[in-house]
Homo-oligomer: A and B are copies of this chain.
Amino acid sequence: MPANPSVPEAAVSRLAAYLRILNGLASSGADHVSSADIGSLVGVSPDQVRKDLSHFGEFGRPGVGYDLKDLRDELARIMRLDRVQVAVLAGAGSLGSALVRYGGFAQHGFRIAAVFDIDPSRVGARLGNCTVEHLSRLPDRVAELGAAIGIIAVPGSAGQSVAALMEEAGIKAILNFAPVKVKVNNSVKVRSVDLGRELECLAYYLPE
Does the CB pair A195–B85 fall under 8 Å? no
Q: Does A87 lie at the interface of the complex (its beta carbon under 8 Å from any beta carbon of B)?
A: yes
Contact with B along A151-178 (1 / 0, CB 8 A): 1000000000000000000001111000
Contact with B along A172-208 (1 / 0, CB 8 A): 1111000101000000010101011111111111111
Q: Does A13 lie at the interface of the complex (its beta carbon under 8 Å from any beta carbon of B)?
A: yes
Does the CB pair A195–B104 fall under 8 Å? yes
Does the CB pair B16–A108 fall under 8 Å? no
Does the CB pair B189–A202 fall under 8 Å? yes
Cα of A98 to Cα of B95 in the assembled complex, Å: 5
- The complex is assembled from copies of this chain, and their number is 2
Does the CB pair B201–A13 fall under 8 Å? yes
Does the CB pair A195–B102 fall under 8 Å? yes
Interface size on A, residues (CB 8 A): 56
Q: Does A34 lie at the interface of the complex (its beta carbon under 8 Å from any beta carbon of B)?
A: no
Cα of A149 to Cα of B97 in the assembled complex, Å: 25
Cα of A80 to Cα of B98 in the assembled complex, Å: 29
Cα of A102 to Cα of B17 in the assembled complex, Å: 28
Does the CB pair A203–B149 fall under 8 Å? yes
> Which residues of chain B are within 8 angstroms of A151 by Cβ–Cβ distance?
199
Q: Does A126 lie at the interface of the complex (its beta carbon under 8 Å from any beta carbon of B)?
A: no
Name the 6 nearest CB pairs between A and B, nearest first: A98-B98, A189-B205, A94-B101, A16-B200, A173-B202, A80-B203
